[in-house]
Structure 1
Amino acid sequence: MYRGFSLRRAAQTDAMFLGDMLVEAANWRAGGVRPRHEVLTSAEHRRYLAGWKRSADDGLVATGEDDVPVGAAWYRVLPQNAPGFGFVGVAVPELIIGVHPLWRARGVGRTLLRGVVELAGSQGHSRISLSVERDNFARNLYRAEGFVVVGQGSARDTMVRATT
């Protein structure tokens, strides 16, 4: 148990909650208002969840009191012909992370990030990638946790970290 929360492995039954966290990730700005259905049906976001949990998918869920989920970090290995925002290579899983707004700034995101990097390493992945908008405050967390920028778009960066 960490500061009021614990971690567990993500399961196939977590798909709906992962959808909630994908919406949180997409709406990270204060006042983010993209409706859930819009985020989850957009081609750019649905690749991070469609068909969860495939054999190469894995992740962690943070739970608060009474095992209520409060955040999640998961990864997918995406194909070269359908890459995600943070695609860097065929065998490099791409990380997605979301934390319920009431649980932010309490160590949940950092703990999930560290845990999913370790999990990816234990599953044989030597690197893990992500994409983050340049003005997203989480970018500082990723840098502090060893992620480095390997690609730049007009408003977002692709970052990678070794898992070992």
Structure 2
Amino acid sequence: MPGLPIRPAVRSDGAFLADMTVEAATWRPGASRPRYEVVSSPEYRRYIAGWMRPGDAGFVAESPEGEAVGAAWYRMLPRDEPGFGWVGTGVPELIIGVRPLWRAHGIGRALLRRLLDHARLQGFVRISLSVERDNYAVSLYRTEGFAVVRRGMGRDVMVKRLG
């Protein structure tokens, strides 16, 4: 599965990134929240509103049939509208989502690596994310070099140094 095509995200991917934001917000098996509820809430809207702004970057994985199945992207969020994983000005915060049927096939890792390489090439020194402690993706982030820098209520902020 890691051999699936991965392409740069473009402006027209905004609706799909909204879908992947919903996947990231409702990752637990059996969990569900209406799409409109997630994408209209300020805490999640900041990750997708106005996609693709200057400083935004991302990648989309596609099935052999050309269907978008996962995405990883980052945004530069301002101090006055920080995301869950905000650690400072000039540090992009990444978001990743994969459709449930395509999880545990290496797609998230492939997307993450592609995004990290891109961030490094763009000159970023660090990248951050937020993850709920019981999310199985925590082990992915740890094996990719992320470390917890701040603990919260059931959710941690993790940072990777890009060097």
TM-score class, shorter = over 0.9
Alignment partners' CA distance in 2, 1:43 and 1:17: 18
Does the 8 A contact of 1:73 with 1:95 survive in 2?
Answer: yes
Alignment partners' CA distance in 2, 1:75 and 1:3: 21
TM score, norm. by length of structure 1: 0.97
Identity, % of aligned positions? 58
Write the mapping of 1:115-154 to structure 2, written as runs, cut at 5 A.
115-154=114-153
Aligned to 2:85: 86
Aligned to 1:37: 36
> Shift of the alpha carbon at 1:3?
3.9
Does the 8 A contact of 1:4 with 1:65 survive in 2?
Answer: no
Task: Give unpaired runs (5+ residues) of structure 2.
Answer: none
Q: Secondary structure at the match of 2:65?
A: helix
One-letter identity of the residue aligned with 1:25: A
- CA 1:151–1:3: 2 relative to 1, 3 Å: closer
Alignment partners' CA distance in 1, 2:24 and 2:30: 13
Write the mapping of 1:44-59 to structure 2, written as runs, cut at 5 A.
44-59=43-58
Alignment partners' CA distance in 1, 2:18 and 2:58: 13
Aligned to 1:95: 94
Q: Secondary structure at the match of 1:23?
A: helix
Write the mapping of 1:55-66 to structure 2, written as runs, cut at 5 A.
55-66=54-65
TM score, norm. by length of structure 2: 0.97
> Shift of the alpha carbon at 1:51?
0.5
Task: Give unpaired runs (5+ residues) of structure 1.
Answer: none
Alignment partners' CA distance in 1, 2:115 and 2:31: 26
Alignment partners' CA distance in 2, 1:93 and 1:105: 25
Does the 8 A contact of 1:74 with 1:96 survive in 2?
Answer: yes
Does the 8 A contact of 1:131 with 1:159 survive in 2?
Answer: yes
Write the mapping of 1:61-80 to structure 2, written as runs, cut at 5 A.
61-80=60-79
Does the 8 A contact of 2:70 with 2:108 survive in 1?
Answer: yes
Aligned: 1:12 with 2:11: yes
One-letter identity of the residue aligned with 2:106: G
Does the 8 A contact of 1:4 with 1:64 survive in 2?
Answer: no
Does the 8 A contact of 1:22 with 1:97 survive in 2?
Answer: yes
Aligned: 1:113 with 2:112: yes
- Structure 1 residue ranges (4+ consecutive) displaced by more than 2 angstroms after TM superposition: none
Does the 8 A contact of 1:7 with 1:62 survive in 2?
Answer: yes
